[in-house]
Amino acid sequence: MTLSTQPYKGARDFYPQDKRLQKYMFGKWREVVEHFGYEEYDAPILEPLEIYLAKSGEEIVNEQTYSFEDRGGRKVAIRPEMTPTVSRMVAAKRQELAYPLRWYSIPNLWRYERPQKGRLREHWQLNVDIFGVKETGAELEMIMLVNEVFKAFDAKPDMYEIRLNHRSLVDYSLADYLELDAKTRQAVGKLIDRMHKMSRPDFISKVDEILPAAQKAAGTTEKLLDLLDAKKLADLPAEVQKQPAAQELKNLLDNLKSLGINHATFDVTLMRGLDYYTGIVFEVFDTDPENNRSMLGGGRYDGLVGLFGVAPVPTVGFGWGDVTLANFLKIHHLLPQLPAETDVWVALVGDVLEQSQPIITALRHEGLNVAVDLSGRKLGDQFKTADKKGIEQVLIIGETELQKQLFTLKNLETGKEKKQNLNDVVSNIKTHRSIK
RNA sequence: GCGGACGUAGCUCAGUAGGUAGAGCGUCGGGUUGUGGUCCCGAAUGUCGUGGGUUCGAUCCCCAUCGUUCGCCCCA
């Protein structure tokens, strides 16, 4: 039987070129998030299955989680998301941690489902959470942070759109304003979540299917449509606008505006699937029609830490997947030319490896990344190899160089080369590196 | 879990109205001795995804299966 060279379904191999892109993305993520004072943490990739059962939503756990039983009969899951894990960690040290707590992580997550565009079985996700702040200053900081990350990738404000909603506002609208019972609320909520995927008549007929006859007769459908047509908070019915949740949203949007973040808007249809959100929720969408999907999402979940048997801790957080970020960067031409990790390729002429080692070592001690062509092939072939690897600088060492202690440093891009002493070699490579 | 499309050299793909296949790119070699990327010349490579069926004969038709991909469901 021949073994397949393909990676496991829905998962990716990261060849150095791919890993380089990942390192670039993660590097920006870390940089910006740490500028906001967030600290990195990590945790096991395996968790007891139960921690996902409580609040993630039934179907997610039952059908979309990699889970198994270990040899001791324990039910184990490969983590499909980070939020329960970080909540567990905070709960475990609830008393001794210093709040507000700002934590982030870039875990590798797995979900068992059919792969599709922008959604694989495996992905990496930036998770940023702030614990211990019940005021909307936490939400404000999160959205500013997200916006700064986009800036760090050179994205312009018209490339993405920040949409906000509030769970309590949704709950009030559906339960009190429209007077829907719990079951109908859930069905209507799911329908709203995907209303932009269908035509209006379709949506209306689906709503009519869900609503109890009495309510349909009482004009609830029209009332709902009217509500969903609100493009801004001021369009909402007066009694909905009076809700504290609406005020919270208004304040947040005003604050964002005064900070120059104008592409954040209220979106009454924004639902987010997870059951654990309790307050403001937000998502960021790519404005490119080719990639019109949610890139990241999050919100307030004040109840999750408390599930672990301690007093609740107010929390705001979001997750941002690497696949969706990469798609965004690609479609907006924001992917930079990423240089090779290696600064210089050493091409040897003749049997001079041993004599060259002190020089190579000296370069490394100078902080340079140096790879040696050990093949003994013709110089031209050694150049080809360096070129193929994307390494621009080649240092040629042969008998003549060793005798005179003058080395030939060649730039493969310009084709220029020059004999120089070791100090100049070092400074030239460093200068060249810093230009990139 | 459901539906559509696709699966031919390392890659992108063409092709055979059923008689075991090709182009570009890439790879390798050469264009003399320590200089690549351009150019020129030459070469190698495929059980035509896998298994079965129809047929004298299948890469081409049929079925199944696996994989890729797009969408649905769901969305962390």
Q: For residue range A276-315, list pLDDT tens digits in order.
A: 889 999 999 999 877 778 899 999 999 899 999 999 999 9
A341 CA from B26 C1′ (Å): 24
A21 CA from B22 C1′ (Å): 36
Q: Which residue has the higher pLDDT, A5 or A212?
A: A212
Q: What is the mean pLDDT of residues A390-417?
A: 93
Nucleotide nearest to A398 (CA to C1'): B34
Nucleotide nearest to A382 (CA to C1'): B36
What pLDDT is stored for residue A22 in this prediction?
A: 93
Residues A373, A382: contact at Cβ < 8 Å?
Answer: yes
A380 CA from B25 C1′ (Å): 21
What pLDDT is stored for residue A61 in this prediction?
A: 67
pLDDT digits (tens, 9 = 90+) for A324-382: 999 899 889 898 888 889 999 999 998 999 999 999 999 999 999 999 998 888 899 99
Q: What is the mean pLDDT of residues A376-390?
A: 90
What pLDDT is stored for residue A339 in this prediction?
A: 87
Residues A278, A303: contact at Cβ < 8 Å?
Answer: yes
What pTM does this model have?
0.92
Say whether pLDDT at A112 is over 80. Answer: yes
Spatial neighbors of A116 by CB under 8 A, at least 6 apart, are none
Half-sphere exposure of residue A94, counting CA atoms within 13 Å on the CB side? Answer: 16
Nucleotide nearest to A378 (CA to C1'): B34
Say whether pLDDT at A2 is over 70. Answer: no
Distance set, CA A149 to CA A280, A296, A397 (Å): 20, 12, 44
A86 CA from B27 C1′ (Å): 49
**Strand B positions within 7 A of protein Cβ atoms:** 1-3, 27, 29, 34-37, 67-76
What pLDDT is stored for residue A338 in this prediction?
A: 87
Say whether pLDDT at A214 is over 80. Answer: yes
Nucleotide nearest to A64 (CA to C1'): B74
Instruction: Please tell me the distance from the alpha carbon of residue A186 to that of residue A183, in angstroms, as a whole number.
Output: 5
ipTM over 0.95: no
